[in-house]
């Protein structure tokens, strides 16, 4: 862990417990601030463009409240045949999502923004990346899908499946260069961005 005396202030611009847990794996000191932005997609906006725009908007909104900090913003949009799949919110909506996705390959666009608010930043204020995950769902009967939802209740997850939990049993295949992207924060991409911003790892 980098001593706090030399570590730039690092902030996660998110209210997500999943992203907080993922970032904590890097063993870097960080704070959490929930961004207050409108997350509605724009008319005619491609899903991946929505994810990138919102990741940047989240990071920038928090950076304006914490000048001189390095801020991490992320957003995820799931798509099936090019159509966005949001957070279901209810059991009925989640079941409908899983029924639609069974036997199908769903693309998860996880966008990442690292906003460097320091005046001396050499990388420019924002680094952006969209990490795609291709998740193939098993063709399971309604009874199993319903039982899964009642056990895990993943109503706050796009695609209604928590891959870090029991939801992994719904999937037959995951293809990605960054497996943590499916959970909501691509750590392989993030560590590369943080290194460009001058963050060091494995320092006593």
Number of Cβ within 10 Å of residue 7's Cβ equals 17
| Residues labelled catalytic | 75
> How much is the pLDDT for 1?
39
> What domains can be seen in the chain, in order of their start residue?
10-196 (3.90.950.10)
> How much is the pLDDT for 2?
40
Two tokens at 192?
A: 């590369």
Please check whether residue 127 is in contact with residue 52, taking contact to mean a CB–CB distance below 8 angstroms.
no
> Which is nearest to 116 in space by CA: 75, 74, 67, 186?
67
Integer Cα distance of 134 and 108 in angstroms: 6
The model's pTM: 0.87
pLDDT digits (tens, 9 = 90+) for 30-54: 999 999 898 888 898 999 999 999 9
Low-confidence ranges of the chain (pLDDT < 70): 1-6, 119-124, 204
Place of tokens 């695609």: 159
Please check whether residue 162 is in contact with residue 127, taking contact to mean a CB–CB distance below 8 angstroms.
no
> How much is the pLDDT for 6?
66
Straight-line distance from the first to the last Cα atom of the chain, in angstroms, rounded to the nearest whole number:
6
> How much is the pLDDT for 102?
95
> How much is the pLDDT for 203?
72
Please check whether residue 70 is in contact with residue 116, taking contact to mean a CB–CB distance below 8 angstroms.
yes
Average pLDDT, the chain: 90
């Amino acid at each position: 862990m980098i001593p706090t005396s030399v570590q730039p202030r690092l902030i996660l611009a998110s209210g997500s417990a999943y992203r907080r847990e993922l970032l904590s794996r890097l063993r870097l000191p960080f704070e959490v601030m929930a961004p207050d932005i409108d997350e509605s997609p724009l008319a005619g906006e491609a899903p991946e463009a929505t994810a990138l725009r919102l990741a940047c908007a989240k990071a920038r909104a928090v950076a304006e409240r914490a000048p001189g900090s390095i801020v991490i913003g992320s957003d995820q949009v799931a798509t099936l045949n090019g159509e966005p799949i949001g957070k279901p919110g209810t059991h009925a909506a989640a079941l409908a999502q899983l029924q639609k996705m069974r036997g199908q390959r769903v693309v998860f666009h996880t966008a990442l923004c690292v906003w460097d608010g320091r005046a001396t930043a050499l990388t420019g204020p924002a680094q952006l990346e969209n990490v795609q995950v291709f998740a193939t769902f098993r063709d399971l009967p309604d009874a199993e899908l319903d039982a899964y939802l009642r056990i895990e209740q993943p109503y706050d997850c796009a695609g209604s499946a928590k891959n870090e939990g029991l939801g992994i049993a719904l999937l037959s295949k995951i293809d990605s260069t960054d497996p943590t992207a499916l959970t909501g924060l691509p750590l392989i991409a993030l560590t590369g961005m943080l290194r460009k911003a001058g963050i060091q790892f494995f320092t006593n």
